[in-house]
Amino acid sequence: MIELLDRIDSVFRKFTKGKCQYADLRLQQVETERLATASRQAEPIEKSVSMGFAVRVLKDGAWGFTASSLFDDKEYERVTKLALAIAAASHKVMGREVQIDRWPAQTGSYRTPVQQDPFAISLPEKLGLLQHWEDLLHADAAITATSTFLDFRRETKFFRSLAGGDISQVLTHVGAGVTGGIVKSRRERYERSFPTASGQFVSGGYEKITIFKIEENIPKIIEQVVTMQTAADCPAKTCDIILSPDLASLQIHESIGHPLELDRVFGSERNFSGTSFATVDQLNKLKYASDVVSVFSDPTVAGGLATYQFDDEGVPAKRMPLIEKGVLVGYLSSLETAARIMLPSSAAARSDGWGNIPLVRMTNLVLEPGNKKFADMIAEIEDGMYIEGVESWSIDDNRDNFTLGGEIGWEIKNGQLGGMIKSPTYSGNTVQFWNSCDATGHPDEWTLWGTPNCGKGEPGQNARTAQGAAYVRFRQIKVGA
């Protein structure tokens, strides 16, 4: 790919140098493979390769962006010139010029540590693993609907800029999951998933699949789905709740990650995914959460779906605080948005593949673990509910009001787990909710959960994010619809 990059780069430089304030070039290849089964039947294997290049220019304070998957000199010239023409069109409606103090000129390379290349493992071996999981799921005759999957992705990307940036990265992700269900009638279905509803995703090689411990946990989810048939409906009341780490991950994603995307805060997403209550005048003032809550953005933490060394603007990745002891202290940002509040970029400008503009996206968000183990959290609750798994989510366009649903729950009475509850839901207001948090779980129970399908932008771009959490406890929350 280097020869191809050099050829595009030479045309890119010829037509941009001296004609704009700044320009960058990305060449990316994305390889994916997904294997799945549904009730023992193998689904079609999805195997794809996509490659293209993108040119981004800043001319007279306005952006232009073009991308193409056609590789020939005429196309490189057409696309580069068109980027400049689009920037000129952008200049026609400009309330504010883009201002960046200094463009990064980083050089470097990064590769996800991989012991076993998932694409090199034979398809029969991978299909065999899924069939093995299917056999285990069907060990109990009560289970009538099952599904399993393996998912692999490798993104090879090169970045160059007129400022001197020259970066290459190879990011490899693996994912897996299973679901077992009982369909009793058209209106009556019970399902349990592991590691969570959409599976677990991490960066790394095929060797990572074993750390999910799927095989070991299949008997437990079978037992739970059988019990779900006689479980109580979720009561409507106010009580203390404990969220499982995967559900806490979703809660962090929806009510901390999205509200702290600085482009969103400024209104860039106003027409589609909305804006945020966490406006910049509240930086270092807003008591977003209780004292026990500290959250970082950290693309350098190992194993996350947003683990990288440079973002798609060539900014080096670094750990940055967002919430410290409950106070809002930072945002997820790009060069442009960070410059508006005179802070350094959090290296969170990321694009979906080669064909999209980098937007401010969530990285790996880390909810700092506390010192309380799950059992201790339960022991301190008189009347409450433990909610596990991810079932449903909805939050308003200002990221205030939300309703989230878990896959399964258990009542908590006098410090002990009680009866099972099916389809538990809870709701609240983001700031009130996080201020009601009185315990974050122990590091031994902390997990970095991958989200492979975070949507943002118009049209939608998909981003791969991660949120790390242990069990989290909240006091006096409204549960039930």
Partner 1 sequence: MIDKARALQILETGLATSAADQTELVLMGEDFSLTRFAESTIHQNMYRSDSTLFVRAVRGKKIGVSSTGDLSPDAVRQAVAAAGAIADLMPEDPDFESLPQPISSETPSDAVCFVPATAASLPEQRAEAVKLIVGICAKQKLQTAGAFRVTTETVAVLNSLGVRQYNASTKAELSLTAVGEQQNSGWAIGYSRDISKIDAAGLAETAADKAIRSRDPIALESGAYTVILEPAAVGQLLLFLAFMGFGGKTLQQQRSFMAGKIGEKITGDNIAIIEDPFDPQLAGVPFDYEGVPRRKVVLIESGIARGVVTNSYYARLLDSESTGHALPPNNTYGPYPKHMAIAPGDKTLEEMIASTARGVYITHFWYVNFLNPMKTQVTGTTRDGTFLIENGKVTRAVRNMRLNQSILDAFANAEMISARRELYPQYSVVMLVPAMKINNFTLESTEG
Site for partner 1 in 32-51 (CB under 8 A): 36, 41-51
Are 202 and 179 in contact, with CB atoms under 8 Å apart?
A: no
Burial of 184: CB neighbours in 10 Å, binned 0-12, 13-18, 19+:
exposed
- Least distance (Å) between residue 415 CB and partner 1: 29
Size of the site for partner 1 (CB under 8 A): 75
Range 411-440, binding partner 1 (CB under 8 A): 423, 425, 428-429, 432
- Least distance (Å) between residue 22 CB and partner 1: 15
- Least distance (Å) between residue 69 CB and partner 1: 5
- Least distance (Å) between residue 377 CB and partner 1: 25
Range 302-321, binding partner 1 (CB under 8 A): none
**Of 79 and 377, CB closest to partner 1:** 79
Range 157-196, binding partner 1 (CB under 8 A): 183, 186-187, 189
- Least distance (Å) between residue 91 CB and partner 1: 8
Q: Is 401 in the site for partner 1 (CB under 8 A)?
A: yes
Are 311 and 351 in contact, with CB atoms under 8 Å apart?
A: no
**Of 70 and 232, CB closest to partner 1:** 70
Q: Which residues pair with 392 in a beta bridge?
A: 405
**Of 180 and 441, CB closest to partner 1:** 180
Among 356, 435, 436, 447, binds partner 1 (CB under 8 A): 356
**Of 204 and 353, CB closest to partner 1:** 353
Are 464 and 321 in contact, with CB atoms under 8 Å apart?
A: no
**Of 62 and 385, CB closest to partner 1:** 62
**Of 13 and 81, CB closest to partner 1:** 81
Range 216-235, binding partner 1 (CB under 8 A): none
Q: Is 396 in the site for partner 1 (CB under 8 A)?
A: yes
Range 255-294, binding partner 1 (CB under 8 A): 266-272, 274-275, 277
**Of 328 and 395, CB closest to partner 1:** 395
- Least distance (Å) between residue 343 CB and partner 1: 19
**Of 210 and 392, CB closest to partner 1:** 392
- Least distance (Å) between residue 207 CB and partner 1: 22
- Least distance (Å) between residue 53 CB and partner 1: 11
Q: Is 405 in the site for partner 1 (CB under 8 A)?
A: yes
**Of 46 and 223, CB closest to partner 1:** 46
- Least distance (Å) between residue 95 CB and partner 1: 4
Q: Is 143 in the site for partner 1 (CB under 8 A)?
A: no
Are 77 and 11 in contact, with CB atoms under 8 Å apart?
A: yes
**Alpha carbon distances (Å) from 177 to 6, 147, 273, 349, 461:** 40, 8, 29, 29, 24
**Of 352 and 438, CB closest to partner 1:** 352
Q: Is 339 in the site for partner 1 (CB under 8 A)?
A: no
Range 114-133, binding partner 1 (CB under 8 A): 123-124, 127
**Of 76 and 374, CB closest to partner 1:** 76
**Of 21 and 50, CB closest to partner 1:** 50
Taking alpha carbons only, the member of 144, 155, 133 closest to residue 35 is 133
- Least distance (Å) between residue 396 CB and partner 1: 4
- Least distance (Å) between residue 284 CB and partner 1: 22
What is the SS3 string spanning the chain? CHHHHHHHHHHHHHHHCCCCCEEEEEEEEEEEEEEEEECCEECCCEEEEEEEEEEEEEECCEEEEEEECCCCHHHHHHHHHHHHHHHHHHCCCCCCCCCCCCCCCCEEEEECCCCCCCCCCCHHHHHHHHHHHHHHHCCCCCCCEEEEEEEEEEEEEEEEECCCCEEEEEEEEEEEEEEEEEEEECCEEEEEEECCCCCEEEECCHHHHHHHCHHHHHHHHHHHHHHHCCCEECCCEEEEEEECHHHHHHHHHHHHHHHHEHHHHHCCCCCCCCCCCCCHHHCCCCECCCCCCCEEECCCCCCCCCCCCECCCCCECCCEEEEECCEECCCECCHHHHHHCCCCCCCCEECCCCCCCCEECCCEEEECCCCECHHHHHHCCCEEEEEECCCEEEECCCCCEEEEECCEEEEEECCEEEEEEECCEEEEEHHHHHHCEEEEECHHHCEEEEEEEEEECCCCEEEEEEEEECCEEEEEEEECC
Q: Is 338 in the site for partner 1 (CB under 8 A)?
A: no
Range 53-112, binding partner 1 (CB under 8 A): 62-70, 75, 79, 82-83, 85-87, 89-90, 92-96
- Least distance (Å) between residue 113 CB and partner 1: 28
